[in-house]
Chains A and B, each alone.
Chain A
Amino acid sequence: QLQLQESGPGLVKPSETLSLTCTVSGGSISSSSYYWGWIRQPPGKGLEWIGTIYHTGYTYYNPSLKSRLTISVDTSKNQYSLQVNSVTAADTAVYYCAPYCFATSCYTRRAFGVWGQGTTVTVSS
């Protein structure tokens, strides 16, 4: 059973870069069946898909955030990471990582069946 854990600073200054890492256990990030996703939730608001990455490094980004995003993968550490540049208060949110299984063999195909516990990031000076 896949388990994911987000980590990173809880406080980031405006205009700086937010950096988070998701550590995957219980399975390989190099699986051919999964994309690895980031989702965020501002306080009191709904969920927003940020983007996903395949183990080869191919990325898919939310068009509204694309210009400020970088998602990368480190297969040797079974981790993937998120960077958001030039943050503002609007980037304050709980950030979740979750796998997105897309293969025909998936049990929960094209859904986020497992979620990390989430990490709170506040953008403030």
Chain B
Amino acid sequence: QSALTQPPSASGSPGQSVTISCTGTSSDVGGYDYVSWYQQHPGKAPKLMIYEVTKRPSGVPDRFSGSKSGNTASLTVSGLQAEDEAHYYCDSYAGNNNVVFGGGTKLTVL
């Protein structure tokens, strides 16, 4: 299984919206509605932000939203805030209880 493809970087100004993509195949992203997104600040463990493509765990601001079309999932952060600056990783169920992660995207708030 190959890693999911994410852009290495993304950026936006405070208050703007930014979308990060996560591209896989029909064997992972396209085949299952089990895409998750994680936020990771430097030196910290990842934090789950989105699961099952579109769902937010309690406590995650509704500024964070997820979607999927075909083999590509997306994370949109609306109303960017300084504290949103972090690395973001997607993962997907890949069948037979396997999981594959994306390479990660560094989000910079300008």
Contact = CB atoms under 8 A, between A and B. Distances in A.
Contacts, number: 72
A111 B48 CA distance: 8
A15 interface: no
Contact of B45 (A35, A46, A102, A118): A118
Interface stretch (A47-55, A67-75, A81-89): A47-55
15 contacts: A47-B91, A49-B98, A49-B99, A49-B101, A60-B97, A62-B1, A107-B57, A109-B34, A109-B52, A110-B51, A110-B52, A111-B48, A112-B36, A115-B46, A118-B45
B84 to A, nearest CB: 19
A111 B51 contact: yes
Contact of A63 (B1, B57, B91): B1
Interface size range on A against B: 20 to 34
A116 interface: yes
Given A35-B97, A60-B96, A63-B1, A112 B38 contact: yes
Interface size class of B (residues with CB under 8 A): 20 to 34
Interface of B: 1, 3, 32, 34, 36, 38, 45-48, 51-52, 55, 57, 89, 91, 93, 96-104
A80 interface: no
A60 B55 CA distance: 26
Given A63-B1, A110-B34, A113-B57, A47 B46 contact: yes
* Most chain A beta-carbon contacts within 10 A, residue among B45, B51, B89: B45
B51 A108 contact: yes
B91 to A, nearest CB: 7
Contacts of B101: 39, 46-49
B60 to A, nearest CB: 11
A63 to B, nearest CB: 6
Contacts of B104: 45-47
A62 B3 CA distance: 11
